[in-house]
Structure 1
Amino acid sequence: MLVGYARTSSLEQEAGLEAQLRDLALLGCEKVFQEQVSAVGSRPELEAAIEFCREGDTLIVTKLDRLARSVRHMWEVLDRVRLKGAAVRIENLGINTSTPTGKLMLNILGGVAEFEREMMLERQREGIAKAKAEGRYKGRKPTARARTGEVLAMRAQGQSMSSIARALGIGKGSVVRAIHQAVRGGQHPTLL
Structure 2
Amino acid sequence: MAKIGYARVSTADQDNAVQVAALKASGCEVIREEKATGTTTSGRTELATVLDFIRDGDVLVVTRIDRLARSIADLQTIVRTLREKGAALQATEQPVDTSTAAGKAFLDMLGVFAEFETNLRRERQMEGIAKAKAEGIYKGRKSAIDADEIRRLRADGMGASAIAKSLGIGRASVYRLLDEEGE
Q: Which residue of 2 aligns with 1:2?
A: 3
**Worse-superposed segment, 46-55 or 112-121:** 112-121
SS of residue paired to 1:176? helix
State the structure with bigger RCO (CA 8 A, min sep 6), 1 or 2: 2
Alpha carbons of 1:19 and 1:162: their partners in 2 closer, same or farther (altered >3 Å)? farther
Q: Once the 2 structures are TM-superposed, how far is the Cα of residue 122 of structure 1 from its aligned partner?
A: 2.4
> Could you say which residue in structure 2 is the equivalent of 1:90?
91
Contact 1:6 1:61 in 2 (8 A): yes
Specify the alignment match of 2:173 in structure 1: 177
In the alignment, is residue 23 of structure 1 matched against residue 26 of structure 2?
Answer: no
Q: TM-score with structure 1 length normalisation? A: 0.78
> Partner residue of 1:168?
none
Match of 1:100 in 2: 101
CA gap 1:121/1:10 in 2 versus in 1, 3 angstroms:
closer
Question: 2:167 maps to which residue?
Answer: 164
Deviations 1:73-126 (A, max 9, x none): 111111111110111111111211111111111111211222232223223333
Query: Match for 1:50: what amino acid?
Result: L
What is the aligned partner in structure 2 of residue 32 from structure 1? 31
Q: Which residue of 1 aligns with 2:143?
A: 143
Q: Taking structure 1 as reference, are residues 115 and 8 closer, same or farther at Cα in structure 2, changes over 3 Å only?
A: closer
**Structure with the largest fraction of helix:** 1
- Structure 1's 163 and 75: CA in aligned 2 closer, same or farther, altered over 3 A? farther
Give the residue type in structure 2 aligned to 1:161.
A
| Shift in Å, 1:154 | 4.0
Partner Cα separation in structure 1 for residue 36 and residue 130 of structure 2 = 31
Question: What TM-score does the superposition give when structure 2 sets the normalisation length?
Answer: 0.81
Identical counterparts, % of pairs: 36
Work out the number of aligned pairs and report it: 176
The answer to whether the 8 Å contact 1:10/1:37 transfers is yes
1:180–1:130: structure 2 CA closer, same or farther, 3 Å change rule?
closer
Q: Distance in 1 between matches of 2:94 and 2:150?
A: 52
**RMSD between aligned residues:** 2.4
Structure 2: runs of 5+ lacking an equivalent: none
Structure 1 alignment gaps of length 5 or more: 166-171, 188-192
Distance 1:50 1:23 in 2: 20
2:142, 2:90 → 1: CA distance? 44
Distance in 2 (CA, whole Å) between partners of 1:38 and 1:115 is 16
- The amino acid of 2:47's aligned partner reads L
Aligned to 1:73, the other structure's residue is in SS state helix
Cα distance in 2, alignment partners of residues 66 and 82 from structure 1:
19
Bigger shift: 41-50 or 28-37? 28-37
Partner of 2:33: helix, strand, or coil? Answer: strand
